[in-house]
Structure 1
Amino acid sequence: MMNPYITADHEAIRKKVRNFAEKEVKPLAFELDDKEKFSSHLTQRMGELGLFGIHLPKKYGGQAKDYLSLLIAVEEIAKVDASQASTLAAHNSLGIGPIYYFGNEDQKQKYLPKLTSGKHVWAFGLTEDNAGSDSRGTESVGILQGNNWVINGSKKFISNASSDMSLGVTLQVVTANDDGKKELSAILVERSASGFSAASLKGKMMWRASDTAELNFENCKVPKENLLGNLGEGAKIMLQTLDSGRLTIAAMGLGLAQGAYELALAYAQKREQFGKAISKFQAIGFKLADMATKIEAARNLLYHACWLKDNGHAFGKEAAMAKLYCSEVAQEVANEAVQIHGAHGLIKESAVERFYRDQRILQIGEGTSEILRLVISRYIGC
C-alpha cells in the first residue's frame, strides 16, 4: 500500500509488529478476554520489541523514532486485540508522555529508562466521579506539608494502574482553592507511596484484558520534587497530553476497523448462499466498499495529523478530528462486520464479536465524540 507519509522504516516496524500480533497476541486474545486477564507476558514482550517509548531519544531507553512509528505499532496490534493495543497506547501517550514532555531532567532520568524497559508501566490519573469531560471538576487534593505533598482523593477508570507492572501515576490534583477558583497541578505518585491503593475493575464490556483500576489516596505522601512542571500547570499538562493521546486512540480505531473489515471480507468470500459467495452480492459488496473507503479516509486523516506533530506544527484540531472520525469509523465498520457475519458474528468465539464490544469505548475515552465536536467547533470559530 502506497502512502506518502510512510517510509521504508515505517514499513519495517509495521511488519515486525504485525508478526508479533499474529503469532503471539492472536492465539491468546480470546482466552485473555474471556478470563478478564491482564497479560504481563505480552506487555513485557511489547517492551522487548522496543515499543515502549519508541519515539523517545535513546538516552532514555527509546528508539528515537517518530510518533507515527508508535501509531503504526498501535494500529497493527489493534487489528488483532484492542486490549493489548490499549495497554501500549496508554502507557506511551498518557504514561510516558507527560514525564517526557513536562518533566525536568532528574525526573526523566529517574523514570523513563524504567518505563521503556518493558518491566513497568505508568498511568494517567485524571478521571473522577465529577471530573472527566470537565477536567476542572477535579476534587482530589494535594497539600504541601514540609517536604511532602499529602494527597487525598480518588480516581477511576485509570489504565495501567493496578497490575504488578504498574510503577506509578501522574495525578491531577487541586493544590489551592481561592474562592472556588482551583489551582490544578500534576504530581508524580509512585505505586509504593504510603496511602496509595489500587483496585482492579472487573466486569467491563470492552478491553477486558487490559488493566483498568480505581485509585484511592488517603494521606498519601510523596516528595515535593515530584511536582510535574510548575504549580498551576496541571490543566495544561493534562490537556496537551490528551492531544497526543487522541492520536493513539485514533490509531486504535483505525486498526480495529481494519481488522474487522478483513474478517468480514474473508468471511464474505467463503460464505456461500444461493450458489455463490455472498461477497458477490451487491448488497454485501457495497458494504465492503464503503468500509474500505472509510478506513482509507481515516488513515490519511490520522497520518496527516501525526505528520503535523512530528514536524513541529500545531495539531490539536487535527488530532480531535482524527480521533472523532477514526473512532466512529471503527463503530460503523465493526457493526457492518457483524451484519455480514450474521448469527456467526454474535457468539463469543467469533473475533468480530469482540471487535464489536471493544470499539464502543473509542467514542468515549480521551474525549467523547460530543466533546470533540465542541473542540473542533471552537477551532473553526464557532
Structure 2
Amino acid sequence: MTDREATAMTTTPDPMSTPGPEQVGDEDFAAILAATRDFVRSRVVPRENEIAEADAIPDDLRAQVADMGLFGYAIPQEWGGLGLNLTQDVELAMELGYTSLALRSLFGTNNGIAGQVLVNYGTDTQKAAWLERIASGDVVASFALTEPGAGSSPAGLRTKAEADGDDWVITGGKRFITNAPIADLFVTFARTREAEGNDPGIAVFLVPADAPGVQVGPRDRKMGQEGAWTADVTFDGVRVPADALVGGSEEVGYKAAMMSLARGRVHIAALAVGAARRALDESVAYATGATQAGAPIGGFQLVQAMLADMQTGVMSGEALVREAARKYHTGEDRRIAPSVAKLHCTEMVGRVADLAVQVHGGTGYMREVPVERIYREVRLLRLYEGTSEIQRLIIGGGLVKAAQRAAR
C-alpha cells in the first residue's frame, strides 16, 4: 500500500455517505429488501441451471431487474435511482449473493465502482448526461481499470491519454472488464502524466463503447460465474472531447479509483455472506434429508460440526460487513474496515463452500447441484476489488502507520 493510496482513501468525502432527504427511509427500504428477497428466491433461484447452461441472464429477468430499479439502487434519487446508502446496499447485496452471482454482476458496476465514480466525482453536466440512463438500465457502465500489469494496485497502469487540441486521445488495453461485451460506457482510467510525489498521474474518462477505436475482445471463459461476462478492451487512439474528463480535472482520477474500490470491497464482502448463507441452507437441508444406513446424516456429530463452523462463519460475516458499512457511511473508517470485511468474508465463503461440498459428499461434486456452482463462483471473490494479499497489506500497513502517527 503506497502513501498515495492511503491519501486517496482518506480524503474527499463520499456524498452518498451522508444521510439526506433524497435517501430511502427505513420503511421504504424494508419494502425494497423484501421485494428483492422474493424476486431472488422465487424467480431467480429456480432458473440458476438455465443461467449456467446459457451463460447468460434471461431477458425477462433483466427486464424485471430494471422494473425493480436495481440498475440504479445506489444512484441518488435526483438522478432516477433508489438512493440506497452503503448500510442499505450491504443488506441488498446479502440477498443478491444468495443466487447466481451473474445476476448481481449485470447491474453491479452501474451501482458500484463505475456508477460511484460519476456520483461522487462527475460534473453536473456529466451526471445529467449519464446517470439517469445508468439508473434505468438503458446504459450499462463498465469500470475499465485493470490491465495486464495493473491489477489490484492501479498505480502500475499503462493506458495513456494525451491532450490533442480540445480532445484527449486514449491508447492502451484493459483486461477482465466486467460487462464489457454489453457495455455502453467505459469509465476508463488512463495515465495523463508521469507519477511524481503524491501525484499518481492518473485521470478518468467517460468513453462511449461505440467510440471509434474501442475494441472489445471475445468473452472470457471462466471457472465459474456463468452469465457474468468479462472481456479485454482495447483503446486504439480513441478520441474523446475535453468534457469526457471526469470532474473536469486530471487530479481526481486516482482518488476516484481508490474510493470506489474501498466502497466496492464492503459490497463484495456482503455478496460473500449471502453466498455463504445459501451454501449453509443447502447443506442443512441436505443433511436433514439424506440418509446413511437408514439415518439422516445430520444426526452424525461430524456433520453437525461442519454445519456449526459454517453457521459461525456466516454470522461473523454478517456482523462484520454491517459494521464496516456503518463505519464507511459515517466516515469513521473508509480504509481499513472495508479491507477487513473483504478479506474475512471472501476467505470465509471459500471455507464454507468447501464444507458444503463435503457435507453433500459425492453429490456435491455434481453439476447442477447448487453447492458445486457456489464452490466455483465464490473463488473469484478473493481476487477482484483487490486480492486477499492486497487487503492484508492495506490492513497491516494502516495499523502500523496509525501507531506511528500516535507516537509522534
Q: TM-score range by the shorter chain?
A: over 0.9
Return the alpha-carbon distance in structure 1 between the equivalents of residues 196 and 384 of structure 2. 31
How far apart, in 2, do the equivalents of 1:132 and 1:41 lie?
34
Superimposed CA distance per residue, residues 323-354 of structure 1 (whole angstroms, 9 cap, x where no aligned partner): 11110111011000000001111111211110
Q: Show the counterpart of 1:360.
A: 379
By how many angstroms is 1:200 displaced? 3.7
Aligned residue identity for 1:215: V
Opposite residue 240 of structure 2, the aligned amino acid is V
- CA distance in structure 1 between the aligned counterparts of 2:28 and 2:324, rounded to whole angstroms: 19
Q: Which amino acid aligns with 1:194?
A: P
Question: In structure 1, what residue type is equivalent to 2:80?
Answer: G
Shift of the 110–34 alpha-carbon distance from structure 1 to 2, 3 Å rule, reads same
2:45 is aligned with 1:50: no
More displaced 10-residue stretch of structure 1: 145-154 or 35-44: 35-44
Amino acid at match of 1:20: F
Q: Aligned residue for 2:236?
A: 218
Question: Aligned letter for 2:334?
Answer: F
Q: 1:329, 1:31 → 2: CA distance?
A: 28
Q: Structure 1: which amino acid aligns with 2:107?
A: L
Distance 1:376 1:44 in 2: 40
When the two chains are superposed, the root-mean-square deviation of aligned CA atoms in Å is 1.9
1 CA distance for matches of 2:344 and 2:109? 19
Contact 2:121–2:252 (CA under 8 A) maintained in structure 1: no
TM-superposed deviation, 1:9:
4.6
Aligned to 1:94: 113
CA–CA distance in 1 between the matches of 2:316 and 2:30?
Answer: 19
Letter in 1 for 2:111: N
Deviation at 1:74, TM superposition (A): 2.2
Structure 1 spans left out of the alignment, 5+ residues: 1-5
Answering whether residue 193 of structure 2 is matched by residue 176 of structure 1, we say yes
Work out whether 1:227 is the aligned partner of 2:248. no
2:334 paired residue number: 315
Alignment of 1:380 with 2:379, yes or no, is: no
For the Cα contact (< 8 Å) 1:44–1:119, is it kept in 2?
no
Q: Match for residue 202 of structure 1?
A: 220
Shift of 1:137: 1.2
Give distance in 2, aligned partners of 1:119 and 1:69.
Answer: 24
CA distance, structure 1, for counterparts of residue 58 and residue 202 of structure 2:
34
Residue-by-residue CA offset, 1:256-306 (whole Å, 9 max, x unaligned):
101111101100010111332111111011111111111111111101111
CA separation of 1:27 and 1:275: change in aligned 2, threshold 3 A? closer
Corresponding letter in the other structure for 1:289: A
Q: Percent identity?
A: 31
CA drift at 1:10: 4.4
Q: Are 1:125 and 2:156 an aligned pair?
A: no
Counterparts of 1:41 and 1:143, CA distance in 2: 42
Match of 2:174, SS state, is strand
The correspondence of residues 158-177 of structure 1 with structure 2, limited to 5 A, is: 158-163=177-182, 166-177=183-194
Question: How many pairs does the alignment contain?
Answer: 375
Length-normalised TM-score, structure 1: 0.93
Moved over 6 A (4+): 178-181
What's the counterpart of residue 123 of structure 2? 104
Q: Which amino acid aligns with 1:369?
A: S
Bigger Cα displacement from structure 2, 112-121 vs 175-184:
175-184
Between Structure 1 and Structure 2, the one with more strand by share is 1
Is the alpha carbon distance of 1:217 and 1:321 closer, same or farther for their aligned partners in structure 2, counting shifts above 3 Å? same
Question: What aligned pairs does 1:268-347 form with structure 2 within 5 A after superposition?
Answer: 268-347=287-366
Contact 2:71–2:108 (Cα < 8 Å) also in 1: no
Show CA shifts across 1:87-143 (max 9, x none).
333331112110001101111111000000022210111111101123111111111
Q: Which amino acid aligns with 1:75?
A: M
Normalising by structure 2, report the TM-score.
0.87
